[in-house]
Amino acid sequence: MDSERLQPPPLTLLDRYRGQGFLALYTTTVTVSGGEAAHGRASGVARSDDGNLILELRLPAAMGGPGSGTNPEQLFAAGYAACFHGALSLLAQRAQVDTTRATVAVEVSFGRDPVDGGYALIAEIRVRMPGVERRQAEELVRNTERLCPYAKMARGGIHSIVSVID
């Protein structure tokens, strides 16, 4: 067992990048197979390339499934909340604001899209910062929205490449 205490990332992550193109700092791949129902959302298994994530996906009860496993909306909400909280913590540390009791809750709703008749996601982010003056908390959250990659993706889209491979 590793006896080292977990540490937050360095404030140097807040340094501005001035390169010409996207500079990947970390890349991961998660592969989903269809499972028993041959449907990734209903009975899939998600596995990360490093083996640290292996979980069964299940359709939520609200959508006609058993609800007995994790679903994509929960995974997205977890990623969004973790990223937002991390960005908020870095900005608060730089501003010397104590946010050790801060929480970020992300509510993700999957539903019908009136624009194209298909489906869409809506995310609501709720930030609590006990002990931080409201004006300062609001400023930190505004700045976090500009820094957090999930917030940027939700606001402006994501560069996505879809391909079929052999």
Q: What was the pLDDT predicted at 159?
A: 87
The CATH superfamily of 71-166 is K homology (KH) domain (3.30.300.20)
Longest CA–CA separation in the chain, Å: 55
Please give the angle made by the CA atoms of 71, 155 and 53, to the nearest 5 degrees. 30
42 near 58, Cβ under 8 Å?
yes
> Which architecture does CATH list for 1-70?
Single Sheet (2.20)
pTM: 0.91
125 strand-pairing partners: 106
In the chain, domain spans:
1-70, 71-166
Nearest to 47 by CA among 65, 77, 70, 81: 70
80 near 150, Cβ under 8 Å?
yes
For 4-129, where are the alpha helices, taking DSSP H only?
40-43, 72-94
Nearest to 149 by CA among 83, 89, 95: 83
Q: Per-residue confidence of the chain (166 residues) as pLDDT tens digits? A: 556 899 999 999 999 999 999 999 999 999 999 999 999 999 999 999 999 999 999 999 999 999 899 999 999 999 999 999 999 999 999 999 999 999 999 999 999 999 999 999 999 999 999 999 999 999 999 999 999 999 999 999 898 899 999 9
- The CB density around residue 75, as the number of other CB atoms within 10 Å, is 16
